Amino acid sequence: MFRKDYFLIFFFVVLLFTTACATKKPIKKDFYLPSPEDIKEKYIAVEEAEPGQPSKRIYYKVAPWYGFKKAACSLTFDDGTRDQYMVAFPEMEKRNIKGTFFLITRLVRRSYWMDDKLKRHLFSWDQARQLWVAGHEIGSHSRTHKDLTKRGVNVKRELGGSSEKILKEIPSVIAVTLSWPYWRNNEEHQDLASEHYISARAGTGLIENYVENNIDNPKSRVINLYAVDSICIRNSEIDKPWKSYSNRIWEDGKWFVLCFHGIDDGRIDQDWLGWEPLSISQFRDILNHIEDRDFWIAPFGMVSRYIRERDSATLALKASRSSYYILSLDDGLDDAVFNQPLSIEIKIPEKWKKYRVSQRRIAIDHHITKEGYLRFSVLPDGSDIFIERVE
């Protein structure tokens, strides 16, 4: 009888211990940003080889960035001040550039934020929904913009409450990204953030720090997705040589994350402006510069998704015949959240002139490079990708 009890106690202790270990699994935060040269060729076997013969193989590669662009760029806006909706939004719409707007969610309904002693008017939930419908991202800048590193602040509430509010106000949002108030955070905060957000933007406000961390630092190909650094181009920083830094990031094939506050067209009320506003012509100059380069310009959350999916995606061959191939690309992530298409290139062994590519019975745009590689973008959800011979 006693021995049985001991056994049961022992069993439960082991069970508790393994459950505790499982829940304490460290969160993956660091991701490597590969350059095209870093990406090794990958192959999938097409068919079993005859004994002693090499097996037929298909070459493939997942692009470092969507559309095989050389580098990525995200435009992000903090605080949700009204000038961003009135001035930045229409300017970006003219160019079809989509950005990310991080809101102080508790204060949106009240419509203003006391930034120290300065009153700054914020745009409304209706306006946020308009931005979202137009293809921009609505993210969180915490609930009340408190410095989360100060004692006594309820960090859990500031983070969790804010993402919940966005999901409630904009029901078609599936997952949210965050920008840290005053850029301040620590590892414990990052762990907490990972429970509510797919990624978080940090920064420092000084261009020198950005250069030191992202250009001069040889380890800057590893980024922490819960503290992604950003370059803050504001009024007192605009005369620094940010264009040459942008060119370096582009040449290195990295992710150029810009952090904006106020944008002033000279016609709107002073208390509608964000911190250290740029003039509209300075803002246009930045947009022109980015558009002139081959950046993949996309909201912060979209690029975060691409990085995470790319990191774990593998291509599998499900079937091959003389006139078609069936492949599937899978990343093992939650498909409802991680729904950003990945760009891949493959080399079909047969010399077909024309292809048809489809996924879930939907035709997929594709093109063939000079070297004969077939390139297209598909969802990494494990569904069938058909590549058929047309000619």
Q: Which residue number has the CB closest to Zn ion? A: 78
Backbone angles phi, psi at 62, to 5 degrees: -95, 130
Helix axis angle, 125-133 to 155-169, nearest 10°: 70
What is the C-alpha separation between 79 and 19, in angstroms, rounded? 40
Q: Which two tokens stand for residue 145?
A: 């913009």
- What's the DSSP call for residue 276? S
* Least distance in angstroms from the C-beta of 106 to Zn ion: 13
Query: Which range of residues in 36-44, 72-80, 194-202, 231-239 is near Zn ion by CB under 5 A?
Result: 72-80
Query: Which range of residues in 26-34, 56-64, 78-86, 225-233 is near Zn ion by CB under 5 A?
Result: 78-86
Q: Tell me the helices (H) and strands (E) count for the chain, helix number first.
A: 10, 24
Any contact of residue 83 with Zn ion (CB under 5 A)? no
Q: Judged by CB, which is closer to Zn ion: 278, or 329? A: 278
- What's the DSSP call for residue 53? S
What is the C-alpha separation between 99 and 68, in angstroms, rounded? 20
* Least distance in angstroms from the C-beta of 208 to Zn ion: 20
Q: Judged by CB, which is closer to Zn ion: 63, or 104? A: 104
* Least distance in angstroms from the C-beta of 183 to Zn ion: 8
Place of tokens 């309904």: 109
Q: Which one among 78, 158, 169, 345 touches Zn ion, defined by CB under 5 A? A: 78
* Least distance in angstroms from the C-beta of 159 to Zn ion: 15
Q: Judged by CB, which is closer to Zn ion: 76, or 127? A: 76
How many residues sit in the footprint of Zn ion (CB under 5 A)? 2
* Least distance in angstroms from the C-beta of 135 to Zn ion: 23
Q: Judged by CB, which is closer to Zn ion: 259, or 344? A: 259
Provide the b/e sequence for 340-357 (b: ≥16 CB within 10 Å).
bbbbbbbbbeeeeeebeb
Query: Which range of residues in 37-45, 70-78, 121-129, 350-358 is near Zn ion by CB under 5 A?
Result: 70-78
Q: Judged by CB, which is closer to Zn ion: 140, or 343? A: 140
Q: Judged by CB, which is closer to Zn ion: 78, or 345? A: 78
What is the C-alpha separation between 42 and 58, in angstroms, rounded? 8
* Least distance in angstroms from the C-beta of 148 to Zn ion: 12
What number of residues does the chain have? Answer: 391
Taking the chain, what is the end-to-end CA distance rounded to the nearest angstrom? 78
Q: Judged by CB, which is closer to Zn ion: 92, or 202? A: 202
* Least distance in angstroms from the C-beta of 92 to Zn ion: 20
What is the C-alpha separation between 115 and 275, in angstroms, rounded? 9
Q: Which two tokens stand for residue 175?
A: 């997952």
Q: Which one among 79, 83, 158, 229 touches Zn ion, defined by CB under 5 A? A: 79
What is the C-alpha separation between 237 and 241, in angstroms, rounded? 9
What Cα–Cα distance (Å) separates residue 317 from each residue in 62, 228, 378? 15, 35, 15
Q: Judged by CB, which is closer to Zn ion: 79, or 264? A: 79
* Least distance in angstroms from the C-beta of 181 to Zn ion: 5
Residues that bind Zn ion (CB under 5 A): 78-79
